[in-house]
Amino acid sequence: MENCPHCKKTPRDEELINNIQKRLKKISGQINGVSKMIDENRYCGDILTQIAAVESALKEVGYIILKNHMHTCVCDDIKNNDLTSLDEALEICKKLK
């Protein structure tokens, strides 16, 4: 990845990375829990509630990454009179809704 001219790197501090990884591990556990609920033929409403929790947690991770993107990549590009990443961020916001 480091030698790929098309891959972008984003500055993230260790605390942010740890926070995101912790959240993703929790989400992974929730998804495994949903799978187990399916295997156990659990009540549909309970499964759907857990799916909603997973979706909410994943959206929150997305917002954390978007916030970091806005504070780093987008701000840096704007300082350099480049609005490309701002336009990209606006398109990403549509997908995160």
Q: Which CATH architecture has domain 14-96?
A: Up-down Bundle (1.20)
pLDDT tens by residue, 79-96:
999 999 899 999 988 888
Q: Per-residue confidence at 2, pLDDT binned at 50, 70, 90?
A: very low
pLDDT at residue number 96: 82
Distance of CA 94 to the CA centre of its chain: 14
Core vs surface per residue 34-45: b (16+ CB within 10 A) or e: beebeeeeeeee
Domain boundaries, the chain: 14-96
CA dist 72 and 78 (Å) reads: 10
pTM tops 0.85, yes or no: no
Helices (H), 1-97: 14-39, 44-69, 75-79, 84-96
The answer to whether residues 69 and 88 touch, using CB atoms and an 8 Å cutoff, is no
CA dist 87 and 72 (Å) reads: 15
* Residue 6 pLDDT exceeds 90: no
CA dist 75 and 20 (Å) reads: 21
pLDDT tens by residue, 36-90:
999 999 999 999 999 999 999 999 999 999 999 999 989 999 999 999 989 999 9
